[in-house]
Chain A
Amino acid sequence: MFTQFFGNYLLNKGLVDTQQLADALAIQKETRPRLGVLAINAGYMTAEQVDKVHAEQQRVDKRIGDIACDMGFLTREQVEELLSTQGAAHLQLGQALVNSGAMTNAAFADALNSYKKENSLNDVDFGGDSTGKIDDIIRKFYNFSEDDREAYLTEYVALLFKNIIRFIGDDFTPLASEHLNKADAVLAAAQKINGDFACTTIIEALSNSYLGFASRYAGEELTELDEMAHASTGEFLNLHNGLFTVNVSNEMNTELKLEPQEIMETGCSMQGEVYGIPLVFPFGLVRFLLVL
């Protein structure tokens, strides 16, 4: 899950723009991190050394790993170790950004190291599911700490991210959080939660992004804003909210009740305290709103 927040970090630092990030997310899965990016991530090579190895590869017909060993930057064991970690999502994202020219190896190395340092993360955290650290990053990112519903909000958003990764995909980046006093949506699926954590939960997007999201959950390409597209978006919301109520019941000993989900084809406007969670996917922007 840290990979998604790493994408936001790159945006916030002005190292990439939203379009560059969305393009990289779209090709991330097909991108295999090259040895240079893996070596930077592991701290075995500097960006400068990687550039030297790449320059050398233009001159001699040898594999990057062999050149890095010849130049004394890596050992054979390190090359083997690095090649076995090629699937890490944050490195695929980084490589996609380097390949597209959005970032240099050096800029990626600096950003990755700063991000790890600022959030006390290691590679295991990046690929794993360390609940405590995820909760920390969510609390900080969405400024929940000053809200007396902090525990519910953190649980809701942490689970939302897990469910999106599980049912929609991991190729998204959260944009800056929103704290508003009104929720406006053009096209939305909504569901009310009643009980100690009473709120209206909304998924809203423009039609293309809405269809992209619905297609992912349905597991088939949906091209019309018809009953199936609405059923898919609504069912994701219902499933997520249902699992949230289970967690709240088990962990906080509180029973919440759900109302049936509603589709708002002509949009909606609701007054209240609103937390907005905008996420960028390759198919566009999708916003999750919590109206409290």
Chain B
Amino acid sequence: MTVETMKVLICDDSMLARKKIKTALSQIGVTQVFEASDGEQAIAVFKDKRPDITLMDIVMPKIDGVEALKAILAEDPKAKVVMASSVGTQENLKEAIKAGAFDFLQKPVSEDQIKSLISKTVK
């Protein structure tokens, strides 16, 4: 997999948060980006597009990020789901890791964090 062929799914109920992450991804050459604005949509888009990496907010309408993470891992146990949230409490971190999250990014997510995550995934 290369940066150019990599598929990324961004799940966040904030259009601005999605836009910022999308811009950071495009600056490092990731062009296949899909979006979801709630947990329910995230699961549906994951099943349809099979992204290489999924960036998942925690606090979202309908189904929250941790529940969506569990559903995605039930669909594909090897899925790489990174929780990206401002709510990085120890409890949430533990819950996300226990549920099988690949990584956790504390919001606000910087371009450097996205860059390092993508290089880690490409390797």
Of B15, B85, B90, which contacts A242 at CB under 8 A? B85
| Given A228-B16, A231-B14, A231-B16, also A250-B90 (CB < 8 A) | yes
Contacts of B88 in A (CB 8 A): 242, 246
B107 contacts chain A at the CB level, 8 A cutoff: yes
| B15 contacts A228, C-beta separation under 8 Å | yes
| A242 contacts B87, C-beta separation under 8 Å | yes
B60 contacts chain A at the CB level, 8 A cutoff: yes
B108 contacts chain A at the CB level, 8 A cutoff: yes
Contacts of B89 in A (CB 8 A): 245-246, 249-250, 255
Whole-angstrom distance between the Cβ of A272 and the nearest chain B Cβ: 22
Number of A-B residue pairs with CB-CB distance less than 8 Å in the complex they form:
54
B13 contacts chain A at the CB level, 8 A cutoff: yes
B29 contacts chain A at the CB level, 8 A cutoff: no
B86 contacts chain A at the CB level, 8 A cutoff: yes
Alpha-carbon gap, A77 to B65, bound state (A)? 59
Of B14, B17, B61, B87, which contacts A245 at CB under 8 A? B87
| A243 contacts B86, C-beta separation under 8 Å | yes
B112 contacts chain A at the CB level, 8 A cutoff: no
Complex interface residues of chain A between 196 and 241 (CB less than 8 A to chain B)? 217-218, 227-228, 231-232, 234-235, 238-241
Residue of B nearest to A219 (CB): B20
User: Please, what's the 1-or-0 string for A46-77, where 1 marks a CB less than 8 Å from any CB in chain B?
Assistant: 00000000000000000000000000000000
Of A217, A218, A238, A250, which contacts B59 at CB under 8 A? A238
Residue of A nearest to B15 (CB): A231
User: Please, what's the 1-or-0 string for A230-273, where 1 marks a CB less than 8 Å from any CB in chain B?
Assistant: 01101100111111011001100001001111000000000000
The listed residue with most B CB atoms (<10 A of its CB), out of A218, A246, A255, is: A246
Whole-angstrom distance between the Cβ of B38 and the nearest chain A Cβ: 8
Residue of B nearest to A241 (CB): B86
Whole-angstrom distance between the Cβ of B43 and the nearest chain A Cβ: 17
B48 contacts chain A at the CB level, 8 A cutoff: no
Complex interface residues of chain B between 11 and 69 (CB less than 8 A to chain A)? 13-17, 19, 59-61
| A246 contacts B16, C-beta separation under 8 Å | no
Contacts of A245 in B (CB 8 A): 87, 89
| Given A228-B15, A231-B14, A249-B91, also A239-B86 (CB < 8 A) | yes
| B86 contacts A238, C-beta separation under 8 Å | yes
Whole-angstrom distance between the Cβ of B75 and the nearest chain A Cβ: 23
Of A234, A250, A255, which contacts B14 at CB under 8 A? A234
Residue of A nearest to B87 (CB): A242
| Given A238-B14, A242-B87, A242-B88, also A259-B107 (CB < 8 A) | no
Contacts of A255 in B (CB 8 A): 89, 91
Contacts of A227 in B (CB 8 A): 15
Contacts of B19 in A (CB 8 A): 228
Contacts of A250 in B (CB 8 A): 89-90
Alpha-carbon gap, A258 to B91, bound state (A)? 13
User: Please, what's the 1-or-0 string for A79-112, where 1 marks a CB less than 8 Å from any CB in chain B?
Assistant: 0000000000000000000000000000000000
Residue of B nearest to A227 (CB): B15
The listed residue with most B CB atoms (<10 A of its CB), out of A235, A245, A259, is: A235
Alpha-carbon gap, A243 to B59, bound state (A)? 13
Of A232, A241, A259, A260, which contacts B16 at CB under 8 A? A232
The 7 closest A-B pairs by CB, nearest first: A242-B86, A249-B89, A231-B15, A235-B14, A231-B16, A242-B87, A260-B61
Give 14 A-B contacts (CB < 8 Å), ordered by A residue: A228-B19, A231-B16, A231-B17, A232-B16, A234-B14, A235-B16, A238-B86, A239-B107, A242-B86, A242-B87, A246-B88, A246-B89, A258-B59, A260-B13
Further pairs besides A239-B86, A246-B88, A246-B89: 7, Cβ < 8 Å: A231-B17, A235-B16, A238-B59, A241-B86, A250-B89, A255-B91, A259-B59
